């Protein structure tokens, strides 16, 4: 790990972390993972040798390629390598967390990125916005880079236009486009599933929503309500 610290003006600092030969950055959030990470803060950047951490405070920002992570406080924890140098293994973001990429933006009060697991967890009224969808949750949003999925837990809600999909847990599956962006292609819903459109409300225990075709399949105690009419069954296939 090559480390460079540049003082710009007074308390404004830029910290560049560059991993040589073995990139450890976030591929799912940032496909340009071999680029260096630049961290700056309006307040201060401290090096805690005993804790093996760098802490940036005051409108802190981490930038890698076209991905930006903003927070009141950013903490990067590293491990010393036997052959010399260091490797970042965890990054914590606290307060007004915002992750911005060209095709999506995520918000929360706290974020933790585990480099080894390839897992970024947002908590504190987390939500994710893409160009066409919006996903929110009461408990947490998980981004699994190796699996290319996002999991919303606790009163999870996905909206697209005037259509809504609610469940205890929503799992969104991403695929890369020709422009190397990630788009949601499928959403799995588990527990207390509710689908709402301007014309109907559909309830079930579990379901799968195929984004490209607009088809949703619900199973388990399905109830379809259209105005005064209600249909009951064990399975329903509906084109939204």
Domains and CATH numbers, the chain: 1-102 (no CATH), 125-240 (2.60.450.10)
Residue 36's pLDDT is 64
Residue 171's pLDDT is 95
CA–CA dist 109, 123 (Å, integer):
6
CA–CA dist 65, 73 (Å, integer):
20
Phi, psi angles (nearest 5°) of residue 162: -100, 15
CA–CA dist 110, 123 (Å, integer):
5
Q: What is the DSSP letter of 28?
A: T
Phi, psi angles (nearest 5°) of residue 143: -115, 115
Q: What is the DSSP letter of 27?
A: T
Residue 209 tokens, joined: 């929503």
Q: What is the pLDDT of residues 43-99, one digit of tens each?
A: 888 888 888 888 999 999 888 777 788 999 999 888 888 888 777 888 899 999 998
The pTM (predicted TM-score) of the whole model is: 0.79
Q: What is the pLDDT of residues 125-174, one digit of tens each?
A: 999 998 888 999 999 999 887 888 999 999 999 998 899 999 999 999 98
3 pLDDT band, cuts 50/70/90, is very low
Q: How many CA atoms lie within 13 A of 234 on its CB side?
A: 0
The conformational region for residue 70 under phi > 0 = left, psi -120 to 50 = alpha, else beta, is beta
Residue 155 tokens, joined: 């009163």
195 forms beta bridges with 165, 202
Q: How many CA atoms lie within 13 A of 237 on its CB side?
A: 3
Residue 120 tokens, joined: 């970024």
CA–CA dist 70, 108 (Å, integer):
10
- The alpha-carbon radius of gyration of the chain (Å, integer) is 21
Residue 117's pLDDT is 83
């Amino acid at each position: 790990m090559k480390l460079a610290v540049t003082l710009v003006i007074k308390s404004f600092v830029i910290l560049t972390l560059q991993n040589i030969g073995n990139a450890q950055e976030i591929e799912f959030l940032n496909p340009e993972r071999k680029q260096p990470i630049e961290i700056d803060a309006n307040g201060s950047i401290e090096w805690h040798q005993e804790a093996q951490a760098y802490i940036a405070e005051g409108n802190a920002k981490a930038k890698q390629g076209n991905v930006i992570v903003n927070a009141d406080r950013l903490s990067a924890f590293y491990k010393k390598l036997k052959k010399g140098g260091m490797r970042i293994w965890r990054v914590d973001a606290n307060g007004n967390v915002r992750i911005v990429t060209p095709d999506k933006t995520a918000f929360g009060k706290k974020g933790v990125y585990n480099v080894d697991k390839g897992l970024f967890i947002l908590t504190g009224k987390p939500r994710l916005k893409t160009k066409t969808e919006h996903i929110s949750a009461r408990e947490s949003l998980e981004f699994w880079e190796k699996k290319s999925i996002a999991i919303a837990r606790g009163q999870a809600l996905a909206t697209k236009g005037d259509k809504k999909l609610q469940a205890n847990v929503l799992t969104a599956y991403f695929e890369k486009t020709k422009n190397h962006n990630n788009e949601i292609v499928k959403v799995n819903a588990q527990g207390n599933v509710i689908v709402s459109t301007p014309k109907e409300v559909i309830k079930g225990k579990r379901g799968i929503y195929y984004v490209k075709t607009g088809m949703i399949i619900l199973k388990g105690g399905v109830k379809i309500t259209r105005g005064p009419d209600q249909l009951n069954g064990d399975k329903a296939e509906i084109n939204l």
